Structure 1
């Protein structure tokens, strides 16, 4: 089964997969409810008729249909005691390897039927679809949902690993004392890493809370999947994010210290030059007054004598600063 972005149907149905008992999944036309096994229907909400097609589903309660077609992107899982519906995150399927744009998809499920909907292509459901060709077949809608959550958490851990590599490179630049002139580009890299980590954390944290707190509210048929794998990967990803966040903050503090040292060094050089030149400036100002009786005004070597006085004043200032241990 190749992944379709759209089936070409007029109702916005991207794909329909039937899971008959004891056989491999079959992709094709959607089956009516109650045909044995269970079914997975996936809609593209960008299609103008997708909303009407979803609202025409006869087996789902109104709250589930409203959530499927809504626009609120708050992650949640809700149930009325029989049906389960919710909003979950995923990485956009169109983003590059160095991007981690997070998008949201919606679902509603009963023991024999799962409907998912999205407005943009995403990786989690695409990976689940691809796994249906050769991988293990989900035993039901809740197991497929658990697989999608686990896939998103693993994607997040891979993204965190990529951010760690980026942080390693920035850290090498920061710790190399010979590259002080390149530190101006290190700060934005730390900022980008911390921003991406925060985005991923904001998507993962509600999932852990949902799996821990909302499990008691699910119907009995949905509690058969313990979500142990998803919870383990999610918690591991959050721990890695917390450690990397602390490391990025420590490196940013180190960068601030290094930049302050560099600024102080430059100010010190400016101060030394200003102090050394100041006596010579005073001498030049004195001989530039053009008043009567000015020393050496009519002497052929007057300019040379004035220059010599400037040099002696500067040298004296340098010796004084060395004596006072200011250099």
Structure 2
């Protein structure tokens, strides 16, 4: 397949999978391009595109179209799927992975496959690709071709979504118990990151489903062998996952509306109390304002008992305000 004897740049790992013998042989990290010429089975190459030499290596890789090379080295952050000349390529959404655990951060995995190879590339470590590698090493006999490797990759992504849905469900359960408690607490700050994850995941799933359906509707001459059946199974998987995510989306939205409703009710109650206090204090304020004027001939300025009479006016005004509020149904 290759004429140059150079080390494969940006290589994370490489496997030679032979369905006839049911084995998967991991190639050494310093494998040369000349060693990628296999007589039977197919190759799986996983590359790190942060190495700038990957583009040059892919230009010399036989069987790759120009569009497939561009798909493997792109830095675009949106899903894409295409079939062309018996080749399937594009970009998948997935979760990034740390050294010891998966994260909730969205990552992007690029791929291209034909009947003789599957090449995957990424910038950050991806959760599903590590699980796929473990599956290849554990049971290589079940991988009959590159399309089966791709199907398992997307299936691992769907399992990751299910795990995340369960985690987010537990978080929503805790928030829900607090929201529907008798005490009013603002849980919007805690709910916001959960809603953000759900909305992003739902958006990417809808895009992947639309792309999968559009690609499955391409001409049969352009499709790799077995793609139509694989696309149908993966569409069913992703659609089921999207329904679970959408159910979470609706639940989180209702929780947000309930929080807003309770906070609005609490604000209205505070405003009601302040309005009552204003209604009770306004008449006494008018009385004290009247007797506080520095004008001549004010009543009760001569003789004794003027302060008590003024106090009586204040009390009477408060009682009059109370009667009016009771009569109008405000109290």
TM-score range, shorter chain: 0.7 to 0.9
Q: CA deviation at 1:236?
A: 1.0
Q: Tell me the equivalent position of 1:170.
A: 175
Q: CA deviation at 1:98?
A: 9.3
Q: Tell me the equivalent position of 2:27.
A: 28
Distance in 1 (alpha carbons) for counterparts of 2:22 and 2:140: 11
Q: CA deviation at 1:319?
A: 3.2
Q: Tell me the equivalent position of 1:5.
A: none
Q: Tell me the equivalent position of 1:18.
A: 16
Q: Tell me the equivalent position of 1:4.
A: none
Q: CA deviation at 1:207?
A: 2.5
Q: CA deviation at 1:305?
A: 3.8
Distance in 2 (alpha carbons) for counterparts of 1:175 and 1:102: 32
1:43 aligned to 2:43?
no
Q: Quick one: structure 1 residues 98 and 82, their matched pair in 2 at CA, closer, same or farther if it must change by over 3 Å?
A: closer
Q: Tell me the equivalent position of 2:3.
A: none
User: Is the contact made by 1:153 and 1:204 (CA closer than 8 Å) also made in structure 2?
Assistant: no
1:94 aligned to 2:93?
no
Q: Quick one: structure 1 residues 294 and 206, their matched pair in 2 at CA, closer, same or farther if it must change by over 3 Å?
A: closer
Q: Tell me the equivalent position of 1:203.
A: 204
Runs of 5+ consecutive residues of structure 2 not aligned to the other structure: 1-6
In the alignment, which of 213, 222, 225 is matched to residue 221 of structure 1? 225
Q: Quick one: structure 1 residues 92 and 299, their matched pair in 2 at CA, closer, same or farther if it must change by over 3 Å?
A: farther
Describe the SS at the equivalent of 1:280. helix
Distance in 2 (alpha carbons) for counterparts of 1:157 and 1:316: 65
User: Is the contact made by 2:198 and 2:249 (CA closer than 8 Å) also made in structure 1?
Assistant: yes
Question: Normalising to structure 2: TM-score of the pair?
Answer: 0.85
Q: Quick one: structure 1 residues 320 and 66, their matched pair in 2 at CA, closer, same or farther if it must change by over 3 Å?
A: closer
Q: Deviations over 1:142-199 (max 9, x none)?
A: 11111111111221222222222222222222222x212x13xx23444433322221
Q: Quick one: structure 1 residues 267 and 187, their matched pair in 2 at CA, closer, same or farther if it must change by over 3 Å?
A: same
Q: Give the superposed CA RMSD.
A: 2.6
Q: CA deviation at 1:47?
A: 1.4
Q: Which moved more, 1:112-121 or 1:98-107?
A: 98-107
Question: Normalising to structure 1: TM-score of the pair?
Answer: 0.86
1:316 aligned to 2:314?
no
Q: CA deviation at 1:95?
A: 9.6
Q: CA deviation at 1:88?
A: 1.1
Describe the SS at the equivalent of 2:300. coil
User: Is the contact made by 2:23 and 2:140 (CA closer than 8 Å) also made in structure 1?
Assistant: no
Q: CA deviation at 1:226?
A: 2.8
User: Is the contact made by 1:160 and 1:240 (CA closer than 8 Å) also made in structure 2?
Assistant: yes
Alignment of 1:1-327 (within 5 A): 11-20=9-18, 21-29=20-28, 30=31, 31-94=35-98, 100-137=104-141, 138-176=143-181, 178-180=182-184, 182-183=185-186, 186-217=187-218, 218-223=222-227, 226-227=230-231, 229-299=233-303, 301-327=305-331
Describe the SS at the equivalent of 2:23. coil
Runs of 5+ consecutive residues of structure 1 not aligned to the other structure: 1-8
User: Is the contact made by 2:24 and 2:140 (CA closer than 8 Å) also made in structure 1?
Assistant: no
Q: Deviations over 1:237-269 (max 9, x none)?
A: 111122222233333333333233222222211
Describe the SS at the equivalent of 2:82. strand
Distance in 2 (alpha carbons) for counterparts of 1:101 and 1:280: 62
Q: CA deviation at 1:39?
A: 1.0
Q: CA deviation at 1:322?
A: 2.5
Q: CA deviation at 1:128?
A: 0.3
